Structure 1
Amino acid sequence: MTATEPLPLFPLHTVLLPGAPLGLRVFERRYLDLVAECGRNGRGFGICMILEGEEVGAPATPAAFGVEARIEDFGSDRNGLLTLQVRGQRRFRVARSRARDSGLLVGDVLWCEDAGTPSLLPQHAALATLLGELLDKVGGEYPGLGHAGANLRQLEDAAWVGWRLAELLPLSDEQRLALLQQDDPHRRLDRLLEWMDEE
Structure 2
Amino acid sequence: MDALPMFPLGAVLLPGELLPLQVFEPRYLEMVAQLTSSPEPPRFGVVLITRGHEVGGGDERTDVGTVARIVDCEQVPGGRLLLGCVGESRIRVRRWLPDDPYPRAEVDPWPDEGGDHRTEAVDEVGALVDELGGLLSRSAALRGIPVPGFPRLDELPGELGERIYALAATLPLVAVDRLRLLSAPGPGERLTVLTEALEDVIAAVRFRLSE
> What TM-score bracket applies, with the shorter chain setting the length?
0.7 to 0.9
> Which residue, out of 11, 16, 19, partners 2:16?
19
Aligned AA for 1:88?
G
Return 112-121 or 181-190, whichever deviates more.
112-121
Matches within 5 A, 1:7-156: 7-39=4-36, 40=38, 41-77=40-76, 79-102=78-101, 104-114=102-112, 121-128=119-126, 130=129, 138=148, 152=155, 154=157
Measured in 2, the distance between the counterparts of 1:91 and 1:153 equals 19
Partners of 2:50 and 2:62 within 8 A in 1: yes
C-alpha distance in 2, partners of 1:185/1:107? 26
Contact 2:6 2:103 in 1 (8 A): yes
2:88 match: secondary structure: strand
SS in 1 for 2:123: helix
Instruction: Check conservation: 1:119, 1:157, Cα contact below 8 A.
Output: no
2:173 and 2:197 in contact (8 A); partners too: no
Q: Residues 123, 107 of structure 1: CA spacing in aligned structure 2 closer, same or farther, 3 A cutoff?
A: same
Percent sequence identity is 32
Query: What letter corresponds to residue 183 of structure 2 in structure 1?
Result: Q
Q: Map 1:178-189; keep pairs closer than 5 Å.
A: 178-189=180-191
Superposition TM-score, scaled by structure 1 size: 0.79
* Residue 30 of structure 1: how far off its partner (Å): 1.1
Alpha-carbon distance in structure 1 between the residues aligned to 2:112 and 2:2:
18
TM-score if structure 2 supplies the norm length?
0.74
Gaps of 5+ in 1: none
Q: Which residue is 2:160 aligned to?
A: 158
Aligned to 2:169: 167
Moved more, 11-20 or 30-39: 30-39
The CA deviation string for residues 134-157 of structure 1, in whole angstroms up to 9 with x for no partner, is: 7xx748xx9xx76xxxx9462x73
Stretch moving more, 170-179 or 36-45: 36-45
Cα displacement (A) at 1:62: 1.4
Alpha-carbon shift at residue 183 of structure 1 (Å)? 1.6
Change (3 A) 1:152 1:31: same
Unaligned runs of 5+ in 2: 134-146, 204-211
Q: Secondary structure at the match of 1:124?
A: helix
- Is the CA contact (8 Å cut-off) linking 1:128 and 1:161 kept in structure 2? no
CA RMSD of aligned residues (A): 2.9
Give the length in aligned residue pairs. 183
CA distance in 1, matches of 2:118, 2:148: 23
Alpha carbons 2:12, 2:179 under 8 Å: kept? yes
CA distance, structure 1, for counterparts of residue 199 and residue 187 of structure 2: 19
Deviation at 1:128, TM superposition (A): 4.8
